[in-house]
Structure 1
Amino acid sequence: MSAGHSVESTEAPYYFVPAPSVHPATGSLALLFFGGGMVMWVNDIAMGPWVVLAGVLGFLFVLYQWFGDAIAESEGGMYSRRVDVSYRWSMSWFIFSEVMFFAAFFGALFYTRVFTTPWLGNFDHRQVLWPAFSAVWPNQGPAGVVEAFATVGPFWLPTINTALLLTSGITLTISHHALRENLRSKCITWLAITVLLGLTFVCVQAYEYYHLYTELNLRLTSGAYGSTFYLLTGFHGFHVCLGALMLAVVLRRLIKGHFTADQHFGFEGAAWYWHFVDVVWLGLYLFVYWF
């Protein structure tokens, strides 16, 4: 049974199709507010931050309502094994799309370091365009265009965050095995620790960003190095927040008595996503902070 209900009953004899819902429309409206607010914010329009806040709160409200409907359907025994297969394929393709999303940014980093930087440092470019350009990575860009900044190493905050995420993967696995053995209290405890580790990661990254902006002068406008650094680490941080939200919803459901040892794809789907986030961070840790 798909999302993992806790009702012991016979399998639904049909493929459940939900009634038309307003949630996609209201979710799109909230995202429109968020996007429009961001445009106003970066253009220094005073109401921009408030429009962004309205979009975020509106979207969270839509998610709360939407999750509630899906959970009610699952707990009501409306899902069959065919729905379970549909959920599994859907989650698999969603994670694949996220793999391609990050592959684009890793590809941009690779292209900039391996191809663009050497090209701009060859004889023709240095003589005609930027005589003072230094073809090393990371670089300060063309002379006088980018403010001086310091680069980021792996110690200590990125290494601490790596330890936090790797540990969270272990605690999540322990929690999953506890659920499969029907040890609900143990499952809840270890899942709560996982969520706490994820939130700690976000806090450490926020502190790191503050340090980079105030002490190293590393900004989104700091040439190719600054833009690729913040796009990769920033989007990953956003995905950590999303994964932590998923796990928090699963934790709340566990506390309310949802899921059984055999029927808990809601837990498994969130766990798949969290392990994906862990793997992406390992790539970031190696190619952004070390190399």
Structure 2
Amino acid sequence: MSSTTGGSTPYYFVPHPSRHPAFAAFGLFFVIMGAAQWINGAGWGKWAVLFGMLWLFGVLFQWFRDAVRESEGGQYGRKIDLSFRWSMSWFIFSEVMFFGAFFTALWWMRAHSVPALGGLDNSLLWPDFKAVWPTMAPGATASPGGIIDPFQTMGPWPLPTINTGLLLTSGVTLTIAHHALIAGNRTKTILWMWITVILGATFVGVQGYEYFHAYSDLNLKLTSGAYGSTFFLLTGFHGFHVIVGMLMLLFITLRLMAGHFTPQRHFGFEGAAWYWHFVDVVWLGLYVLVYWL
């Protein structure tokens, strides 16, 4: 449904009723239910998560395919472009709040929770606890309850620093690709986009090795007290966002190779670029607060 104002592009566009939102919610139901059962020891939970993820990815593929067809069919005018920009802006703002909550949790652990456990109020309940961060001092990790095994912290060198260089470089290559697209040089744009995607994939690989190193060599696990839980919470969710951003850039690159986007109209590219730069900025905060401090 659309209305034109004398030109070929509609002034507004209202899509037809779609099954995609309901089908996506069906897949998310299995993901959430399966994850809840999985962490509580139910063996079938992981299969429910797998089914839900595969179902959701299938729905998203069809949903995005329809959106691409509508865009390439000339259905999206200036008003739709503006609504997309506002929507992406609010989405990134919600992600800022998401990570802001995690950074606040890290600060609260270090500045309030751990010192409070070592205060006079808890001295009778836990007399041997040492209020230090990270919780790895004698008597802190080897707790009176024996629930936390000794571990080592993850330092900034070399893996986190390598990943920092990879992400910062990917931001530069993405910017070069954007300027090439504005200049109408599609070949150069595609080349630098592929370089950006490869850098993002390399980041994920390095972080995967970092987790292997943490578990096997440092005995640093999700159960390693407050430090372990916040470390994997922050870096794990950021790694998930890197994977999402990398997939976004990959699909944008494939669309560029298919002839989509023009120097004047390419918000799909810009939206993915906004998201990737946001991921870069979050990592810089993680790099300083998690690995250095």
Q: TM-score range by the shorter chain?
A: over 0.9
CA RMSD of aligned residues (A): 1.4
Contact 1:118 1:135 in 2 (8 A): yes
Question: Does residue 214 of the first structure (1) align with residue 220 of the second (2)?
Answer: no
Contact 2:149 2:224 in 1 (8 A): yes
> With structure 1 as the length reference, what TM-score do the two structures score?
0.94
What amino acid does structure 2 have at the position aligned with 1:132? D
Q: Distance in 2 between matches of 1:48 and 1:120?
A: 35
Match for residue 42 of structure 2? 45
Structure 2 residue aligned with 1:77: 74
* Contact 2:11/2:78, CA 8 A, preserved across alignment: no
Structure 1 counterpart of 2:69, one-letter code: A
Q: Could you tell me which residue of structure 2 aligns to residue 130 of structure 1?
A: 126
Contact 1:11-1:81 at 8 Å conserved across structures: no
How far the C-alpha of 1:40 sits from its partner, in A, is 2.8
Q: Where does the alignment leave 5 or more consecutive residues of structure 1 unmatched? A: 1-8
Deviation sequence 1:155-210 (CA, Å, 0-9, x none): 11111110110010000000000000000000001001111111111111111111
| Equivalent residue number for residue 18 of structure 2 | 21
Equivalent pair of 2:135/2:227 in contact (CA under 8 Å): yes
Q: TM-score, normalised by structure 2?
A: 0.93
Per the alignment, residue 278 of structure 1 pairs with: 280
Which of the numbers 222, 237, 240 marks the counterpart of 1:238?
240
Residue 96 of structure 2 is aligned with which of 95, 99, 107?
99
Residue in 2 aligned with 1:139? 135
Whether contact under 8 Å (2:166, 2:200) holds in the other structure is yes
In the alignment, is the contact (CA less than 8 A) between 1:198 and 1:240 conserved in 2?
yes
Query: Which residue identity does 1:139 align to in structure 2?
Result: T
Residue range with higher mean Cα deviation, 66-75 or 134-143: 134-143
Distance 1:36 1:117 in 2: 33
For 1:130 and 1:192, locate their aligned partners in 2 and report how far apart those are by CA, in whole Å: 55
Q: Share of identical aligned residues, percent?
A: 61
User: Where does 1:105-254 land on structure 2 (aligned, <5 Å)?
Assistant: 105-126=102-123, 128-140=124-136, 141=140, 142-143=143-144, 144-254=146-256
Match of 2:3 in 1: none
1:121 and 1:39 map into 2 onto residues whose CA distance is: 33
Distance 2:55 2:205 in 1: 24
Please list the CA deviations of residues 237-288 of structure 1 after superposition, one character each: whole Å capped at 9, or x if unmatched: 0000110111111111100000000100000000000000000000000000
Q: Contact 1:33–1:52 at 8 Å: present in 2 too?
A: yes
Query: Which stretch shifts more, 276-285 or 209-218?
Result: 209-218
Q: Which amino acid aligns with 1:260?
A: T
Using the TM superposition, give the Cα deviation of residue 43 of structure 1 relative to its aligned residue in structure 2, in angstroms: 2.9
- The number of equivalent residue pairs is 282
Unaligned runs of 5+ in 2: 1-5
Report the secondary structure of 2:11's partner residue: coil
